[in-house]
Structure 1
Amino acid sequence: MKARWKGKGSEAKAIADPMSKIVSQLQSSLIHSNTHGLLSSCSVLVEVDAQLADLLNRACFGRPRITAEKDNEWFQLDMEEAFYLCFSLKCLKVVGEDGCIKSNEELWEYMKSKKAVFPVFYMAYSHLRHKNWVVRPGLQYGVDFVAYRHHPALVHSEYAVLVLSEGDNDLNGRLRVWSAIHGTVRLCGSVAKTLLIVNVNNNCHGAISPSCLEHYTVEEQTITRWNPEQCREDQAVVRI
């Protein structure tokens, strides 16, 4: 499935301003500003100035929160987004309810306590982000994530992502029967997306600490409906 760009010139804008460059600028600005986030239940809140708010928007991290403040803005990061900025990009520090900065290990344990499948979801999220895909929640499509080639303002999402993990019956059970696969693929087709299965294997290393992630492996598999139109012979039938 080809990228579906939104409007004339959108593809050219994306090529001129690649996502890898935007994320690198965000990383540098967050490090320079020594930005801290605040743990808030199942998310992290970050207060930023106008420049950082623009970079977070362009890099598609978090969502702005409406407040009465005029000088700064607040962004709400999902757990995978926040941990990616902390652990992978090393550009964000997170403060707990006790007012102390959380180490990566402490943040890891906290997020696991809030979301049992966090290690698997984070591995899938970081895997796609490292490949410069924009990854956003996919709840409205009945999947875990949706993946965009660039900013959602420029292009429609191409992939509806389901995360599976060997040995996790709750996750893998979603596609265990044919009717579930058929229904999911039909839904993806109706919204012009390809179903992408991201299978995360921990290789028996568990999820004791973030350092275990280096032993994880990720496999990708796309599932699409067979279209007979693509398989017909183009030549006209010769009648005798």
Structure 2
Amino acid sequence: MSLIQPSTQPKVSQKASGRRNENNKLYANPLPIIFAEEQSSAGVWHKALGLLLGVSLTRVLNPHCEGVFDATTRSVWVTDMKHAMTLWQRGFFGKGDLSRSEPSWLARQINARKQARTGLTSEEVTAKRRAERKQFKLDRAKAMAAAAAEAEAAFREEGRVISTVYSADGTRIIPSAATWKPSQTLPEPPRASSPTESEDEDDNDVPIENVEHLQLTLSEAFFLLWNLDCLSVTHPETGDALSLNQIWCAFQNAHVPSPSLSPNLDPPARRFDNPFLVNYVAYHHYKSLGWVVKNGIKFCVDYLLYKRGPVFSHAEFAIVVCPVYEDPADQESSPFQLQNTSPFSWSWLSTLNRVNAQVQKTLILSYVTIPARSRVPDTVLSSPACFNHYSVREVIVRRFIPARMRD
């Protein structure tokens, strides 16, 4: 009897392993800033002396990215693709406005141009399939007409009844879609072209201009510029860099209906239930715990939590932000209509839980307690120090399936 037991772990292909190693190198840094140690020729003795004197040899590499505030979409646009890829590859911040997640519009356009030169596009493949389907119907109609004429002649002359589908040797007379082959070579579908071939060739030589930008939510942008100091936000009209106080006012005013498209930099009406403050409290809470936080509108939730990022695995938790007023009087006088503040129905909760359970995500209700204005003065809202007065509590919601959970 052999003591070596066969491995039960599934074999990983070399292609998948190579892709995983490439992702580990490309997305190795969880934050845009990098802490790198100085390379000294003195070696260990120089490092020990630095530790003895309390001098750190670690350098902080800050990318200093730039973005433009857009009040209409309540987001910050990073138009420089070098900065955009830095923020995406180091923490998965933002999403491409023309992509599902990673800003890959330019790469897709380049691949589509290569495919147009070497093969058929998706539209041309569809046209080819339609031509084959039309030819199959014509061949089948001819075969059915010939078989019917042969059977009628055999019955009239010899009194025999023969099959109109199979011949005497068992072969099929009328072709099926699975066994049909075109009787003649079908013409190639017309290729999509511009008015002249010369213009089409010239267009292929012109480099494609990247019109995509990285779109950051207000919570992501404020986390990058306040906590990491690696992002600067500029005014969309003047191009001047906004100060932290101006950004603090503009992000809160973005949730107040305003007829002007220009960002409002005036001091906002100080309220603890401003949607920007409530959403950022939940975002900062999970981001500070090491999670990669992404928007969860695809699964009808506010946030999705990833261990490392969407490139490595699917999200494990789905977060629904539920604001809770410490003082009910503040809710009655609030100009904001915050979601999930009133008691929700069990049918809504069951539907939401079922959607996320089908994609193997655990639903978490994140209750953000809004401080009472009677207890905390409004002057605290003049700076981000007001976040210390909020609290976050989580409740995990799971579906009870009697047939599976008896143990």
Name the TM-score, length of structure 1 as normaliser: 0.77
Contact 1:147 1:160 (C-alpha < 8 Å) held by counterparts: yes
Structure 1 residue 35 displacement after superposition: 2.7
For residues 9-68 of structure 1, what are the alpha-carbon distances to aligned partners after superposition, in whole Å with 9 as ceiling and x for unaligned? 69x869x67x8x6234x1249964433221122111224464x44432221101235575
Structure with more contact order per residue of length (Cα contacts < 8 Å, sep ≥ 6): 1
1:198 corresponds, among 366, 379, 392, to 366
The match for 1:109 is: 249
Map residues 71-90 of structure 1 onto 2, 5 A cutoff.
74-90=213-229
1:146 aligns with 2:304: yes
In structure 1, distance between residues paired with 2:252 and 2:386 = 14
Contact 1:48 1:73 (C-alpha < 8 Å) held by counterparts: no
The match for 2:239 is: 99
Structure 1 residue 227 displacement after superposition: 3.2
The match for 2:86 is: 55
Structure 1 residue runs of 5 or longer lacking an equivalent are 1-6, 234-240
Q: How many positions carry a matched residue from both structures?
A: 222
Percent pairwise identity: 27
Structure 1 residue 80 displacement after superposition: 1.0
Tell me the SS of whatever aligns to 1:218.
strand
The match for 1:27 is: 33
In structure 2, distance between residues paired with 1:156 and 1:9 = 18
For residues 123-170 of structure 1, what are the alpha-carbon distances to aligned partners after superposition, in whole Å with 9 as ceiling and x for unaligned? 111111111211111112111111111121210111111111112673
Contact 2:275 2:338 (C-alpha < 8 Å) held by counterparts: no
Tell me the SS of whatever aligns to 1:171.
coil
1:162 corresponds, among 320, 328, 331, to 320
1:181 aligns with 2:349: yes
Structure 1 residue 172 displacement after superposition: 2.7
Tell me the SS of whatever aligns to 1:179.
helix
In structure 2, distance between residues paired with 1:47 and 1:33 = 15
Contact 1:53 1:73 (C-alpha < 8 Å) held by counterparts: no
Contact 2:323 2:338 (C-alpha < 8 Å) held by counterparts: no
Q: Would you identify which runs of 4 or more consecutive aligned residues in structure 1 move more than 3 Å?
A: 7-10, 28-34, 47-50, 52-55, 64-70, 205-209
Greater radius of gyration (CA): 2
2:68 corresponds, among 38, 49, 58, to 38
Letter in 2 for 1:81: E
Contact 1:124 1:198 (C-alpha < 8 Å) held by counterparts: yes
Name the TM-score, length of structure 2 as normaliser: 0.48
For residues 61-82 of structure 1, what are the alpha-carbon distances to aligned partners after superposition, in whole Å with 9 as ceiling and x for unaligned? 0123557557x98422111111
For residues 191-227 of structure 1, what are the alpha-carbon distances to aligned partners after superposition, in whole Å with 9 as ceiling and x for unaligned? 2211111111233346453220122111122111123
Q: 1:49 to 1:209 in 2, by over 3 A?
A: same
The match for 2:39 is: none
Q: 1:173 to 1:211 in 2, by over 3 A?
A: closer
Letter in 1 for 2:88: N
